[in-house]
């Protein structure tokens, strides 16, 4: 686990974006942890999450020309990432979509830079892949090319079949998925934390039931 990944997990826990307990997922599973990027809801949080995303993107080496943040959580995430990238000398355009088309002013469903070239999709987690699928359709219908997906946390658990939700996206769309951290890193972090060690057995049991080995 890299220092950046460890720092991200620690920060997410401090901000209560990553919480432990009992939570029902979209798949109807009872999960012992939950990640809600919507709780990165102040200036410091957005500054730091943008930096964590930017570092993961640059480490990956993925080639892209712009970012796309699907409504709604992807909007602020994409904005924070391009600011972080600009501070490192990479001035990248970004765009996001409206849930409903605007029928006045500039109209349309896309806000920001025109969708063109290689477009990197921003999201927090991938559960059923619905947001990614919609984003791919939006980007492709604009004549641009989806370049990949970047997420905060890869839960490394099964999607519809034997593959994880992330693996399903990679297989179905032929896109790389970059993550800042994954469940394996979270478990390693808990192993090192006396204060949080009590949560490890439940998460390990959940992984044994629904997890995949790696992506």
Q: Is residue 105 pLDDT above 70, yes or no?
A: no
Q: Is residue 94 pLDDT above 80, yes or no?
A: yes
pTM of the full predicted structure? 0.92
37-76 pLDDT, tens digit per residue, is 999 999 999 999 999 999 999 999 999 999 999 998 999 9
Q: Which domains does the chain have, with CATH numbers?
A: 3-200 (3.40.50.2020)
- Please check whether residue 4 is in contact with residue 55, taking contact to mean a CB–CB distance below 8 angstroms: yes
Instruction: Output 212 or 94, whichever has higher pLDDT.
Output: 94
Measured CA to CA, the distance from residue 17 to residue 9 in angstroms comes to 10
The pLDDT, as a whole number, for residue 57 is 98
The pLDDT, as a whole number, for residue 130 is 85
DSSP 144-204: -EEEEEEEEEE--BB-SSSSBHHHHHHHHH---EEEEEEHHHHHHHHHT-TTTGGGHHHHH
Q: What angle do CA 11, 175, 179 make, to 5 degrees?
A: 10
The radius of gyration of the chain's CA atoms, rounded to the nearest angstrom, is 17
Measured CA to CA, the distance from residue 134 to residue 150 in angstroms comes to 15
**Binning pLDDT at 50, 70 and 90, where does residue 3 land?**
confident
**Binning pLDDT at 50, 70 and 90, where does residue 102 land?**
low
The pLDDT, as a whole number, for residue 101 is 61
116: helix, strand or coil: coil
The pLDDT, as a whole number, for residue 135 is 96
Measured CA to CA, the distance from residue 50 to residue 159 in angstroms comes to 27
Q: Does the annotation mark 104 as catalytic?
A: yes
**Catalytic residue (choose from 24, 26, 104, 199):** 104
**Catalytic residue (choose from 15, 102, 173, 199):** 102
User: Nearest-CA neighbor of 49 among 68, 77, 70, 75?
Assistant: 77
Tell how far CA 20 is from the center of its chain.
19
Cα 148 to Cα 18, 38, 118, 122, 151, distances in angstroms = 24, 22, 9, 9, 10
109-139 pLDDT, tens digit per residue, is 899 999 999 999 999 999 877 889 999 999 9
């Amino acid at each position: 686990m890299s220092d950046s990944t460890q720092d991200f997990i620690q920060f997410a826990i401090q901000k209560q974006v990553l919480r432990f307990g009992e939570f029902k997922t979209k798949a109807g599973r009872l999960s012992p942890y939950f990640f809600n990027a919507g709780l990165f809801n102040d200036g410091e949080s957005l500054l730091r999450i943008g930096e964590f995303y930017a570092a993961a993107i640059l480490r990956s080496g993925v080639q892209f020309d712009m970012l796309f943040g699907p409504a709604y959580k992807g909007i602020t995430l994409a904005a924070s990432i391009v600011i972080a990238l600009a501070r490192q000398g990479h001035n990248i355009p970004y765009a996001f979509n409206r849930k409903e088309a605007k029928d006045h002013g500039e109209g349309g469903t896309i806000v920001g830079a025109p969708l063109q070239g290689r477009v990197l999709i921003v999201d927090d987690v991938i559960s059923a892949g619905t947001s990614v699928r919609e984003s791919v359709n939006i980007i492709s219908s604009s004549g641009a090319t989806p370049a990949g997906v970047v997420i905060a946390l890869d839960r490394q658990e099964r999607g519809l079949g034997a593959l994880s939700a992330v693996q399903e996206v990679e297989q179905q769309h032929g896109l790389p998925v970059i993550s800042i951290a994954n469940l394996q890193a979270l478990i390693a972090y808990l192993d090192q934390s006396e204060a949080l060690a009590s949560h490890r057995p439940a998460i390990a049991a959940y992984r044994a039931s629904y997890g995949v080995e790696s992506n």
